[in-house]
């Protein structure tokens, strides 16, 4: 049996390959999906980025891309501005069934974002948090989707 993201133990050491694709396999990405990356900075996890590109088979699209995307990969740190505004901007290019992976520094890391802040901001932006995974040693990912009634 191949472990899934739901089976994964969300600890710092949990950056193993799950069915190929490295840590990004936890995100449920598939070949051919378009992924736009927002909020990249020097502290973003390059191994995770490479893993996402390996799974999808294409480079991450930057903030200048103006087409429709399947997934937005949003790197966000405390102090990056208003989270609600950032999420509203992130959902603009999403396809009807698209989703946002909000990547935030883990507890104890510079720029850590409290889970309560995410829980408060997501519904205000029209999103629901469905799961959180350990994305890498320093980053956690929160899966955000539009409520089914809006899709």
| 31 falls within a domain | no
Q: pLDDT tens track of the chain, all 151 residues?
A: 333 333 333 333 333 333 455 667 899 999 999 999 999 999 999 999 999 999 999 999 999 999 999 999 999 999 999 999 999 999 999 998 999 999 999 999 999 999 999 999 999 999 999 999 999 999 999 999 987 544 4
Report pLDDT for 89: 95
Torsion of CA 90, 83, 143, 136, to 10 degrees: 110
Report pLDDT for 25: 82
Where in the sequence is the domain holding 57, given as residue range(s)? Answer: 37-150
* Overall domain count for the chain: 1
Report pLDDT for 24: 79
Report the C-alpha gap between 87 and 124 in whole angstroms: 9
| 21 falls within a domain | no
| 125 falls within a domain | yes
| 1 falls within a domain | no
**Domain holding 104: CATH number?**
3.40.50.150
Contact 35, 70 (CB under 8 A): yes
Report pLDDT for 9: 36
Report the C-alpha gap between 146 and 100 in whole angstroms: 9
Q: Looking up tokens 């539009």, which residue turns up?
A: 146
In DSSP notation, 30-59 reads -TT--EEEES--TTS-HHHHHHHHHHHSSP
| 15 falls within a domain | no
φ, ψ of residue 38 to 5 degrees: the values are -125, 145
Report the C-alpha gap between 64 and 70 in whole angstroms: 16
| 53 falls within a domain | yes
| 32 falls within a domain | no
| 62 falls within a domain | yes
Report pLDDT for 14: 33
pTM across the whole model: 0.83
Report pLDDT for 3: 33
If one counts every other C-beta atom within 10 angstroms of the C-beta of residue 108, the result is 8
Report the run of H or E that residue 110 belongs to, with start and end. Answer: none
How wide is the angle at C-alpha 136 spanned by C-alphas 131 and 138, nearest 5°? 105
């Amino acid at each position: 049996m191949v472990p899934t993201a739901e089976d994964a133990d969300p600890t710092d050491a949990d950056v193993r390959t799950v069915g190929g694709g490295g840590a990004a396999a936890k995100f449920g990405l598939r070949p051919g999906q378009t992924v736009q990356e927002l909020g990249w900075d020097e502290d973003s996890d390059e191994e995770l980025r490479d893993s996402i590109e390996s799974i999808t088979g294409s480079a991450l699209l930057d903030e200048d891309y103006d087409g429709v995307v399947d997934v937005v990969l949003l790197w966000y740190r405390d102090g990056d501005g208003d989270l609600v505004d950032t999420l509203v901007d992130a959902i603009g290019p999403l396809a009807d069934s698209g989703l946002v992976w909000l990547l935030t520094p883990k507890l104890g890391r510079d720029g850590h974002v409290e889970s309560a802040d995410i829980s408060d901001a997501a519904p205000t932006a029209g999103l629901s948090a469905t799961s959180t995974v350990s994305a890498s040693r320093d980053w956690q990912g929160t899966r955000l989707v539009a409520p089914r009634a809006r899709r």
